[in-house]
Structure 1
């Protein structure tokens, strides 16, 4: 746990955590927002980056840049279930409290109205680290956040479709993260701790059309691994199966713990991400609606306009032009895009 604290995780109860996102800082000090503002209307300074399962995950993905439990010497057996289950109301209250703690020091730095807004968060990204569907009371937690006036983005690897199918209340938006499109690739790259991880992932994709809330397939792109024309066709088949509202091809970033497993050459440029996205659009019938250079991500959809219902949004929503920040990115200063 000391390693997590050194990386500025704010630990909550026995299994949850909050961490201030770099884009919270950028929004408060520079007026620059994360791509989720441009794509979906999320105001970065009002977004809580949170997880209810800090160290628990059923995958050991090679590209993971967070603190992986395997890196801390925990065994697979330790990761199968949470050691205890904290109350969702308590977790939600503490998550909001810790977010406020992380932004309280900006009072004399940020514009007054933005600081006041940051102290009153309106969105929670259930995505910080770990696999959130391992928290047994996830459905209740989503309900609690919604009752408190926060929207929710739930990000999952899709390894527990039964949990998603049993949600009594859907998240505001559901993300499923993918890097692979067949079992062989999945077993090699995503390193599941259970025997039918890929089959579970396919079950999740088949479940997505039943959701009334928007769904997203995020495809993390790794050079020399999943960006060939064959890969385009493979991912297109999964998109056809899942019929997501959005698809986000996004570059792997060579940061954190992943630097010991993948090389810097594995990180595609923005132009390479765009090229892949164009091929995927042609294969699926989706269109490129927008992109963000700092985060090296492209938005594909069949919608004609954005669903800006999560916040005030950004002035350049769904426009491809950047706002003068092409060379300052989410993960620092890459040499080139």
Structure 2
């Protein structure tokens, strides 16, 4: 077919398109890559062209070549003018103007750049806003607390002169939750924007176990916890430490002078990323300590002032935390035998021997393995060079040495220290009972006259720092037992001697009844509470056995933090567990436990108590603290009772001791509930238990202790409460060696002790605060304020 001229063009075009499409489908990957490269090359060429045009005018400043066409170019001659022009420019232009320009090489003269903005720009730091100094201290004798106030006054004077430095806040390490300040910086309900925190730590050093041991262990665990960044406190603006020591006992730093402060300083350097703002200060408490603190505080204030202006710790300044200055903090001292050297001063007494050898690395190497010989006799071969070497464990120390400030403080408070870790004390209810003025709540609930009761503890150490504890800050705190262990018989004899000696001292007190004085010389009951954690004592079962051997009943109180010891505990007359909060957050705020798994330990102890409820009398002890654990926690407490099913639930208003230590813990008289408030709580809790189908009822009260008792209906026999203990029956069953239940040794509760009757023993005489008799027959109302609850000597336990 002849298409002619007009038909040839379409055919050729169609053929070309067909060939092009075939070529594209065959080589489309290669062609696409070439096209992309061409586009990128064109873009790069255009960018280089613009840069060349920009660099062709060397006389123009940054503001000139950023100016829009037709815009007036300001004449700028200083950094301040650049800053002003940038603020007045377009926002987008201002952002671009702050981009750094390539700078020529310059000679470092060894001085900081002049001007706060130049300094910040050189370090790439943001504009500083405000600095909040936080001062931390720990004190047993009061010296460090006094000096911390001096430092706070100096910082406050500085803040009045410079608004960028906020008023300092002072915290006692014994009264704070370490997790709130030493894991990721301060935890505040409403964190202030732009505020940077500066830590000032005043650390004394003691050769006994105090909160500082716990603090150091916390810093250690935080740094080595794989779940936490190795420098979690790097957000701080800086830190500085001052140590207080005694050169008479530890003449040099190598021998222990200010050892704990040195260790705190090194841990803080690691946790903050080496942000030591001012060098570690050291002072001798028996020297001119005030002048040393004053000089150190002056230097610290200079650093704070500079930090508030420049926003950084500076360059090349001693104590700036520079890596070159702090690199030795990772080093470990070694001996000639390449063994880690830990001085006996106490600085490293928490640490174990560090250069241990993994068993997998022993093969093929002649590395002697340490062996702990359990006897003093060794064969001749054991002394040869080829035999293993022996390592003698370091001798354990006393919990409360005689020369320690803890011993002095507790003795001043009326304690008789027994051995190295035990104590005994006379309760003020004992003095009241001797004069016929009434016994404590145990007389109303369980039939224990206070003048027949000995209050003691085989362990002055505790694993909690409760806000309502009377002795907080003076008794040792720890999570593990690491001291010498005194024999139970020595503690038992020492406790009896100390108790009788104190009873004899009361025979000259006006009003003491002779018949009760004679009765008091025969101990019938022992309250294992006082201060510390009795169950912490490793040989507690032997000690309880000695009590029962002389027919002395045992009331043991624990804080639900030692489930293994609680599980291993043998039968006592009555077993208490302190239930100070109904949920995890409240328990952490009130008890301030040292264990990080405190809530898991708490619940484990409740499970154990549930198992023991048919073997011995179990008691939940609730201490009500307004503002902490009263409001909206009834249902939570009811759930805990349902979990543990105790025989009894004691509810008591907190006792305020009226000292500065209580206010430091955040406790004031405003936190003490009126008795009407305790009554309302008891009735609400009882109703919550009824709603859960639990068989409990309000059995008794002792209004004068601001205390009430909810009992299981196991003790409601023939519609009458039987909460009193039949002690003769208890010991008869115990000595017979047969199994028995709590219901087997109970007696009927007297009428005057029942709920609604006040709980005051009619055999005693009620008196007012001045000792004047009250005529109960005139219909005088039972005191509704916990004024007389101050008679209790232990605060939360009133034993």
Name the TM-score, length of structure 1 as normaliser: 0.90
Of 483, 488, 491, the residue aligned with 1:83 is 483
8 A contact 1:42–1:310 mirrored in 2: no
C-alpha displacement at 1:315, in angstroms?
Answer: 7.4
1:113 corresponds to 2:549: no
8 A contact 1:127–1:155 mirrored in 2: yes
Show the counterpart of 1:137: 539
1:215 corresponds to 2:618: yes
1:101 corresponds to 2:501: yes
**1:110-159 CA distances to partner (integer Å, 9 max, x unpaired)?**
33321111010110000000011210001111111111110000001011
Show the counterpart of 1:17: 423
Show the counterpart of 2:754: 318
8 A contact 1:294–1:329 mirrored in 2: yes
Provide the secondary structure at the position in 1 that maps to 2:790: coil
Show the counterpart of 1:294: 704
**1:160-211 CA distances to partner (integer Å, 9 max, x unpaired)?**
11111112x3110011112212222222222111121111111111111222
Distance 2:474 2:489 in 1: 29
Greater Cα shift, 149-158 or 260-269: 260-269
**1:45-84 correspondence runs (5 A):** 45-54=451-460, 56-65=461-470, 67-68=471-472, 71-72=473-474, 80-84=480-484
Of 186, 189, 192, the residue aligned with 2:587 is 186
RMSD: 2.2
Distance 1:73 1:186 in 2: 21
8 A contact 2:436–2:513 mirrored in 1: no
8 A contact 2:706–2:789 mirrored in 1: no
Show the counterpart of 2:651: 249
Larger radius of gyration: 2
C-alpha displacement at 1:290, in angstroms?
Answer: 1.3
Distance 1:155 1:332 in 2: 19
C-alpha displacement at 1:249, in angstroms?
Answer: 1.2
**1:2-33 CA distances to partner (integer Å, 9 max, x unpaired)?**
11111100111110000100011000013411
Distance 1:20 1:94 in 2: 14
Provide the secondary structure at the position in 2 that maps to 1:330: helix
Distance 1:207 1:128 in 2: 23
Task: Rate the CA distance shift 1:314–1:28 in 2: closer, same or farther, 3 A.
Answer: farther
Task: Rate the CA distance shift 1:319–1:310 in 2: closer, same or farther, 3 A.
Answer: farther
8 A contact 2:562–2:601 mirrored in 1: yes
**1:35-50 correspondence runs (5 A):** 35-50=441-456
**1:270-314 CA distances to partner (integer Å, 9 max, x unpaired)?**
000000000000111321111111111110012222233248997
Show the counterpart of 2:671: 266
1:235 corresponds to 2:235: no
**1:219-270 CA distances to partner (integer Å, 9 max, x unpaired)?**
1111122222x30000000000110111011111221532332121111110
Distance 2:635 2:550 in 1: 42
Distance 2:586 2:755 in 1: 34
C-alpha displacement at 1:72, in angstroms?
Answer: 4.2
Distance 1:126 1:314 in 2: 25
Task: Rate the CA distance shift 1:278–1:315 in 2: closer, same or farther, 3 A.
Answer: closer
Provide the secondary structure at the position in 1 that maps to 2:455: strand
**1:86-117 CA distances to partner (integer Å, 9 max, x unpaired)?**
11111111111111111113345533321111
Provide the secondary structure at the position in 2 that maps to 1:144: helix
Task: Rate the CA distance shift 1:181–1:45 in 2: closer, same or farther, 3 A.
Answer: same
1:225 corresponds to 2:684: no
8 A contact 2:458–2:537 mirrored in 1: yes
8 A contact 2:429–2:791 mirrored in 1: no
Equivalenced residue count is 325
Show the counterpart of 2:566: 164
8 A contact 2:428–2:791 mirrored in 1: no
Distance 2:689 2:484 in 1: 43
8 A contact 1:51–1:126 mirrored in 2: yes
1:279 corresponds to 2:681: no
Show the counterpart of 1:309: 726
